[in-house]
A and B are shown apart, each in its own frame.
Chain A
Amino acid sequence: ELKVEQNPLFLSMQEGKNYTIYCNYSTTSDRLYWYRQDPGKSLESLFVLLSNGAVKQEGRLMASLDTKARLSTLHITAAVHDLSATYFCAVDGDDDMRFGAGTRLTVKP
């Protein structure tokens, strides 16, 4: 059974700082997705990573995928308050999509 683990689950950081969120998964897959969720809202797609070594960047966020290590990272550069949200990674299994527990990010002034 595919398992997806994220860490940290909670992250409080100051504006201007850098940090990385990690997503590990248990079985072979080369399709991984990152989503953002604001409180009380639905999930918004951020990145689609479809091959080993894939790297995508959007603004202050950069995601990468290492399928051999079964690891994806979401790197935050010079955080700003608007990035405060919960971030989920999801891995495409045989028939369904498995989500990590989410990382709740709070960016403080």
Chain B
Amino acid sequence: DGGITQSPKYLFRKEGQNVTLSCEQNLNHDAMYWYRQDPGQGLRLIYYSQIVNDFQKGDIAEGYSVSREKKESFPLTVTSAQKNPTAFYLCASGTGTGELFFGEGSRLTVL
């Protein structure tokens, strides 16, 4: 089945650790996005990529890094520089000119 797979679904991190969230899609979409959602809030854009080997910062990129080495994959690393990383992280893909399709999300908690 075509879709977007995020892993892990739940992740706990100690302060000072980097963690990487995986996002894989088999929809053949060029564009991929990472959003952060805090409780009761909307979605804020962290990074997006319109094409392989290229990506742009969104509104809240500080403390995060991404790579886009393959069309199917857009992993997000939450670095120790991100001071308040506890949140729900959503990955999405799209054609670049249309609706987005979302993964199931990854819930990160800092202990």
On A, residues with C-beta under 8 Å from B are 31, 33, 35, 41-45, 48, 88, 90, 92, 95-102, 104
Task: Please name all residues of chain B whose beta carbon is closer than 8 Å to the beta carbon of A33 when the two chains form the complex.
Answer: 99-100
The segment out of B11-19, B61-69, B75-83, B90-98 that lies at the interface is: B90-98
Give CA–CA (A101, B41) in the complex, Å.
6
| Residue pair B99, A102 in contact (C-beta under 8 Å) | no
A43 to B105, CA, bound (A): 9
How far, in whole Å, are A44 and B101 apart by their CA atoms in the complex? 8
With A95-B48, A97-B100 as contacts: A41 and B105 at CB distance below 8 Å: yes
**Is B109 located at the chain interface by the 8 A CB criterion?**
no
Q: Does B33 have its Cβ within 8 Å of any Cβ on chain A? A: yes
Residues in B whose Cβ lies below 8 Å from that of A97: 33, 45, 92, 94, 100
Partner of B48, one of A44, A90, A96, A104: A96
What are the interface flags for B22-52 relative to A under an 8 Å C-beta threshold, 1 for contact and 0 otherwise? 0000000000010100001111010010100
Q: Contact: B99 with A42, CB < 8 Å?
A: no
A42 and B105 in contact, given A95-B56, A97-B33 (Cβ under 8 angstroms): yes
Report the nearest B residue to A46, measured CB to CB. B99
Assess the B105–A99 pair: CB atoms within 8 A: no
Closest to A92 in B: B97
Tell me whether A48 and B98 are in contact (CB under 8 A): yes
Assess whether A96 is in contact with B99, with CB atoms less than 8 Å apart: no
A90 touches B98 (CB 8 A): no
B58 at interface, CB cutoff 8 A:
yes
Q: Is the CB of B100 within 8 A of A90?
A: yes
Q: Give Cα distance in the complex from A99 to B43, angstroms.
A: 6
**With A31-B98, A101-B41, A101-B42: A96-B103 Cβ-Cβ less than 8 Å:** no
By beta carbon, the residue of chain A nearest B101 is A45
Report which of A42, A96, A100 forms a contact with B45, defined as CB distance below 8 A: A96
Contact B90 A42 (CB under 8 A): yes
Instruction: Report if A45-B99 is in contact (Cβ < 8 Å); known contacts: A95-B48, A99-B43.
Output: yes
User: Do A31 and B97 touch across chains, with their CB atoms under 8 A apart?
Assistant: yes
